[in-house]
Amino acid sequence: MKILFIGDIVGRPGRKSVKELLPKIKKEKGPFDFILANGENGAGGFGLTAKVLDEITGMGLDCLTSGNHIWDKKEFVPRLAEEMSLLRPANYPPSCPGRGALTLEKKGKRLAVLNLQGRIFMSPIDCPFRCADALLEEIDTPFVLVDFHAEATSEKQALGLYLDGRVSVVVGTHTHVQTADERILPGGTAYITDVGMTGGHGGVIGMKPESVLPRFLTGMPSKFEACESHLILSALSVVLDDAGRAVSLERLQYSLSEKP
């Protein structure tokens, strides 16, 4: 099985990057059995709308994961209970709309996808480690991908090692800066601390510098706007054997522009 996971899609620049670069990646690195992405920043950099969700999934993605920003567009939150190919972190309380895991099926292949959120420097929700244990008890396929949406690199590495040998892939999302630590862990799990961001890399984690710098300079709130320069699609490509163990992985960055 070959999987492509695309890092956090940020606003219109991120959607443009996927639309224009995904066909090239599929041609050069595919074919892929499943293509997934974290889409929680898809609408203006914060949350999703129904229109944006349809636009992204219409580009050929099988599933979208998310994180803390999935709740930002209040009018969209009820849709979480209806969308079968969109996940929110599973370790939010059960009363929250949506679901945190699903099993994709295509051409006789099955891939379970788990979405979890960290707790260090983030909201104090349920334990992602224990939540993963509970979800894995219900899964009946050896092919399992986990999107761990977390702030701290230590927490991401800890979960990766905790799940090593029990899942196929652990990708970190949320911090928007691609890390260079992709590797196959001793138990056969493909791991990267952060797969990176898809969108404008000419600013501050996907936002225009002029919209972000005032907050650092004054401490006052400022309205962030999605950066439109230096567009890059960040992703991780993973090949799994018949037992669901990783045999190879490749960290990818495809650019639409030459200079930041």
How many angstroms from the chain centroid is the CA of residue 204?
A: 18
Number of neighbouring beta carbons within 10 Å of residue 106: 10
- CB pairs under 8 A, 24+ apart, for 212-221? none
Considering 69, 149, 174, 201, which one is annotated as catalytic? Answer: 69
Integer Cα distance of 176 and 192 in angstroms: 13
Integer Cα distance of 6 and 25 in angstroms: 11
Q: Can 69 be counted among the known catalytic residues?
A: yes
- What are the C-alpha distances in Å from 161 to residues 58, 132, 246? 34, 13, 14
Is 79 strand, coil or helix? helix
Cβ proximity of 179 and 172 under 8 Å: yes
Integer Cα distance of 194 and 153 in angstroms: 8
Residue 43 has which token pair? 């609408």
- What are the C-alpha distances in Å from 2 to residues 116, 149, 178, 204? 22, 22, 21, 32
Q: What's the full length of the chain, in residues?
A: 260
Q: Please give the positions annotated as active site.
A: 69
